[in-house]
Amino acid sequence: MAIYILENQKKATEYACLFLSGREFPAGLCKGTGQEKFNAKKLSLIGNQVENVDKLGTRAPDVEVLLLSNNIQLKHLTGRFLWSFKKLRVLDLSRTGLISLPMEIGKLKELVVLDISYSSIRSVPDSLGRLVKLEHLNMQNCPLKSFPVHKVSNLVNLRYLNTRGLYFEQLSVIPDELQSLAALEVLDVNTCRLLQKLPDYLAKSFLGLLALDLRGCTSLSQLPSDLQELQWLQKLDLEGCLSLQSLPEAFGSSGAFPSLQELFMTGCRRLEAFPELQPGALPRLRMLKLPFCARLQHLDIHPKALPNLVHLNLGGCAGLKELPDEEALRYFSYLEELVLNNTQISSLPASIGLLPRLKKL
């Protein structure tokens, strides 16, 4: 219906939002004389078999959102093309055939979002560091030869950084230069398999961090001892961190992780000990997932720790023989789901029957 309206009710040049996603690229869109301008502020050409868009910029100077993802045939962008979009705020080049970005990318002074994930881009120009308004940078699964640390470190307003799946020696340690990213809210280094440790500056520099994704960081063997001081962290994902044997004891101290709601440690098969949780620890935690931590033998939770816990998953913890003591369980008044399959737990404390919201056992 939307396509019918687009083709029959107005000329494309008259639309404020022009969405042609999933269609064969309309050749006439770029072959005009340039006399007739597009009024569009948002232009989506997702999956249009785009090969060349060089003339498009001269016809759509007011575009603020440009979506070119899923065009594997698109292998080159000229600097002139990018410079045509002086008002551009969102640029999506994900899943394209691009192998590089022109230097002119640094002239997009209004750019807030840049997505080059799953493209063929192997390097980024120095001018990337001039995008001072950039808040969202997604480089997931790019075949980058090296981490562009000196460029990214200049993006002082960056709030979201996704380096998921980047695989090169330089990322065995997150560079010190990145501590300049004081506005960072989401750090995603999922599947960075060579990452061995997190920087000591993390809790001191990323004060507003909301989510930290470390899934699949199979070489990660330790966490900073002050990570629990991240006052606003809501989600910590350590799934598949195969080298992690323990967590800092401070993680279980009173007041640790005051905003954390989700802690995922699925498949941390070398994890032998979980910190003893003191009263007041993890006060807002709702989901604690520890399935398939085969070496975990006990879980010590003091009464009044985890007061807001809703989901507790211990399935597949083959070495686990008992639950936390009965007194601690009494305080799980919000618990709805308790998963204990494939453990050595042979009996349940009587206090299980007193949990008012338990729905799944």
> Would you state the pLDDT for residue 7?
43
3-class DSSP state for residue 227? helix
Structure token digits, residue 148? 């562009």
- Pairing mode, strands 287-289 and 311-313: parallel
- Answer for the pair 309, 285: CB distance below 8 angstroms, yes or no: yes
Give the integer Cα–Cα distance in Å for 216 and 214: 6
| Residues facing 237 on adjacent strands | 213, 264
> Would you state the pLDDT for residue 170?
54
Give the integer Cα–Cα distance in Å for 108 and 75: 20
Write the DSSP string, 267-321: T-TT--B---B-TTSSTT--EEE-TT-TT-----B-TTSSTT--EEE-TT-TT--
> Would you state the pLDDT for residue 1?
31
> Would you state the pLDDT for residue 334?
94
> Would you state the pLDDT for residue 3?
39
pLDDT in tens for each of the 361 residues of the chain? Answer: 333 334 444 444 444 455 555 555 455 555 544 455 667 788 888 998 888 887 676 667 789 999 999 999 999 999 888 888 889 999 999 999 999 999 999 999 999 999 999 999 999 999 999 999 999 999 999 998 888 889 999 999 999 999 988 765 556 888 899 999 999 999 999 888 888 989 999 999 999 999 999 999 999 999 999 999 999 999 999 999 999 999 999 999 999 999 999 999 999 999 998 999 999 999 999 999 999 999 999 899 988 899 999 999 999 999 998 888 777 788 899 999 999 999 998 888 888 888 889 998 8
Residue found under tokens 């040049």: 13
> Would you state the pLDDT for residue 319?
93
> Would you state the pLDDT for residue 350?
80
Q: What is the pTM of this model?
A: 0.87
For residue 165, give Cα distances in angstroms to 26, 140, 188, 197: 34, 6, 10, 16
> Would you state the pLDDT for residue 9?
41
> Would you state the pLDDT for residue 145?
82
3-class DSSP state for residue 301? strand
Structure token digits, residue 4? 């019918």
